[in-house]
Structure 1
Amino acid sequence: MFKTKVKPKKRCSTSHSRLIALVWLLAFLYRLVPPSPEVFCLNMAATQTTNPSQLLPLELVDKCIGSRIHIVMKTDKEIVGTLLGFDDFVNMVLEDVTEFEITPEGRRITKLDQILLNGNNITMLIPGGEGPEV
């Protein structure tokens, strides 16, 4: 007879167990009080209407590809450029970029051909914006 070794089961990490518990709790609460459609707009058919109030954020950014966009950063910088592309983290590739920075000496303006912008530093996106007034 052959004996096979049975590997012991791996135990879930504490964070994994907490995540599972959170998912179960959310599922339970969802059954008690289902969220309104305004809060959870997960139905893609509902977002395909022409009503701009039902447009998801990434869909709005997607519509801005190829056009100028004004970006306000967490720091004292604002960026205006043509959006070439972005990912799920809203990291962006921009071309024909103008960077406006407020320094103690005044406003500094920098022109750049192309940049990759980290999405973690973005506070606000303004489609079609021309940047701060000079």
Structure 2
Amino acid sequence: MKSFQVTFHQEDQADQMVVKKLSEADFNAAIEGGMRQLFELDTNIGLFIFVDGEDKDGGETYHALRFQDEKEEPSDYYSFELKDFYEFIALFTSQMYIEDDESESDEEAYEPIHHLAHLFFHIVESGEGVTP
């Protein structure tokens, strides 16, 4: 497991965050006590599955698994601090409150789900050279 820092653009309105990139073994140890799948985000840089879990001692962990090119195994395992993970959940769930009867031009507007995908673009880009 290796940590890396992600710095966002000022317009992203997100604080710098420390992200951990895990190996499959690190991830399995982090969820040894159980795991819940919370939601998925399908983007042009991969499918992200967000999970929380417990390690063998009951410590809570927060993750995103990145799948690429229709492969069955994740290409990347990311681990986050609770405060950052909570922000991702808030962006995802706020999408549910956008009205269904918006006009076509409103559908092209930059919405919370787009912002979440943009943040993950920065996370993936910042962690490209990091090997767990």
Compute the TM-score of the two structures, normalised by the length of structure 1: 0.23
* Larger Cα-atom Rg: 1
Q: More helix per residue: 1 or 2?
A: 2
